[in-house]
Amino acid sequence: MGDLQQDFAKLKQKIAQPSFQQNHGLSNEVGYYIFDYDAKDELIVRENVANIAVSSTVATIGADVKVFDLFDIMMGIVDRFGYREGFENIEREDGMAEVVTQMNNILDMDSERNLVVEYVRQAVENDKSTIIFLTGVGKIFPLLRSHKILNTMNQVIDKFPVVMFYPGYYDGVRLKMFGQLEDDNYYRAFGLRMEWNNSEN
């Protein structure tokens, strides 16, 4: 996958470009990107994402970077409804498959305006220039699937670029969680590290 620190340096350069922030040069595609990485590098990725979010502001690059941890969003909604204990009981009595089904039902994940997407939308709806970073993808698996979040989100959020940090492998079509588990096909995101690695070959 190439050198992780070098790719984060390239990411910093890319998000500072006005064309990136304004979704230009994408053949009319919405600006959704996947930054894939080896799951063993999770802590390194978290540190780099946090550093970018702190240092990248309107004053420095012309846009704010807002980080949304999908696990925190999911559990925040569960706690708001008072369902945490119920999910623990479901897992004990009916197994993880039932937890997955019930979680997706509660969050209305088959809807474009599901509760996860709505949370992010409301957080940025009054912003003028924002870059959205999505993290926590590994922590929500298998309760929520990243391709479903991206598919629904890009129907609702098309004003700002979105970068999903994916602990696995993305080849421009296939998503493989942790590099091994098939997530699903996704065709609408641009693979950042794949693009950079190919440009070096």
Query: Taking residues 25-49, what's their average pLDDT?
Result: 86
Residue 160 lies in a domain: yes
In this predicted structure, what is the pLDDT of residue 107? Answer: 94
User: Residue 174: its pLDDT value, please?
Assistant: 79
Half-sphere exposure of 63 (CA within 13 A, CB side): 26
Q: Give domain status of residue 93, yes or no.
A: no
Measure the CA–CA gap between 131 and 160, rounded to whole angstroms: 6
Sequence letter at residue 174: R
Residue 84 within any structural domain of the chain: no
**Helix (H) / strand (E) containing 110:** none
Structural domain contains residue 109: no
User: What is the CB neighbour count within 10 angstroms for residue 133?
Assistant: 23
Q: Is residue 101 part of a domain?
A: no
More confident residue, 188 or 118: 118
pTM (two decimals): 0.91
Quick: pLDDT tens for 156-178.
888 899 999 999 988 877 788 87
- Quote the pLDDT of residue 182: 64
- Residue 201 confidence (pLDDT): 53
151: left (phi over 0), alpha (psi -120 to 50) or beta: alpha
Name the residue range of residue 177's domain: 27-73+123-200
Residues 6+ apart with CB under 8 A from 126: none
From the CB of residue 10, how many other CB atoms can be counted at a distance below 10 Å? Answer: 17
Please give the pLDDT value at position 108. Answer: 94
Predicted confidence (pLDDT) at residue 25 exceeds the cutoff of 60: no
Q: How many Å apart are CA 191 and CA 160, to the nearest integer?
A: 17
pLDDT at 85: 87
Phi/psi of residue 185, nearest 5 degrees: -80, 145
Whether residue 155 is contained in a domain is answered as: yes
Q: Shortest CA distance to 120 belongs to which of 166, 154, 79?
A: 154
Structural domain contains residue 46: yes
Residue 169 to residue 184: CA distance in whole angstroms? 11
Residue 44 tokens read as 């390194």
Give residue 29's pLDDT. Answer: 66
- 91, part of any domain: no
Q: What's the pLDDT score for residue 180? A: 65
Find out whether the peptide bond into 142 is cis, omega within 30 degrees of 0.
yes
pLDDT in tens, 126-162: 999 999 999 999 999 889 988 889 889 988 888 899 9
What does the pLDDT look like over 41-93, one tens digit per residue? 999 999 999 999 999 888 999 999 999 999 999 999 999 988 888 888 888 99
pLDDT for res 114: 94
User: Predicted confidence band at 1 (pLDDT cuts at 50, 70, 90)?
Assistant: very low
How many structural domains comprise the chain?
Answer: 1
End-to-end CA distance of the chain: 12
pLDDT of residue 176: 83
